[in-house]
A = this chain, B = another copy of it.
Amino acid sequence: MQQSFDSDRFRQALGTFTTGVTIVTTVDAAGSDVGVTANSFNSVSLAPPMVLWSLARTSTSLAAFLAARYFAVHVLASDQQALATRFSTRGADRFAGLNPARGADGIALLDRCAARFECRTAFQYEGGDHVIFVGEVLNFEHCEREPLVFKRGRFALAVGKMPAPHQAGVAQASAADGAFGEDFLMYLLGRAYFQLYQRIRPEILRRNLGDAEYLTLSLLGVRDGRTVAELDSLLAYSGTRVTEGVAVRLAELSLVELDGTPGDGRRLLLTAFGRRSVVELLAVAEAASADAEKSLDPSESHVLRQLLASLVEASNPGIPHPWQT
Contact = CB atoms under 8 A, between A and B. Distances in A.
Interface stretch (A93-101, A172-180, A258-266): A172-180
Given A127-B50, A239-B201, A78 B161 contact: yes
A191 interface: yes
Contact of A222 (B52, B161, B179, B237): B179
Contacts of A59: none
Contacts of A180: 218, 221-222, 282, 285
A184 B201 CA distance: 17
A48 B128 CA distance: 6
Interface string A12-51: 1110111110100000000000000001111111111111
Interface string A257-279: 00000000000001000010011
Contacts of A196: 185-186, 189, 315
A139 B1 contact: yes
Q: Is the interface of A mostly helix, strand, loop or mixed?
A: mixed
Given A300-B310, A304-B307, A147 B50 contact: no
Contacts of A293: 185, 311, 314
B114 A16 contact: yes
A289 B185 contact: yes
- Interchain residue pairs A-B with the least CB separation, the first 10: A45-B128, A178-B278, A178-B221, A13-B142, A292-B315, A17-B20, A188-B308, A189-B193, A16-B114, A44-B127
A140 B51 contact: no
Given A155-B160, A178-B218, A186-B197, 19 more contacts: A1-B103, A13-B115, A13-B117, A16-B114, A19-B20, A52-B54, A132-B134, A149-B149, A155-B161, A156-B158, A156-B160, A173-B222, A178-B278, A184-B285, A185-B308, A189-B192, A191-B237, A195-B315, A291-B315
A294 B104 CA distance: 51
Interface in A285-325: 285-286, 288-289, 291-296, 300, 303-317, 321, 323-324
A180 B127 CA distance: 53
Given A306-B159, A307-B159, A16 B198 contact: no
A14 B84 CA distance: 19
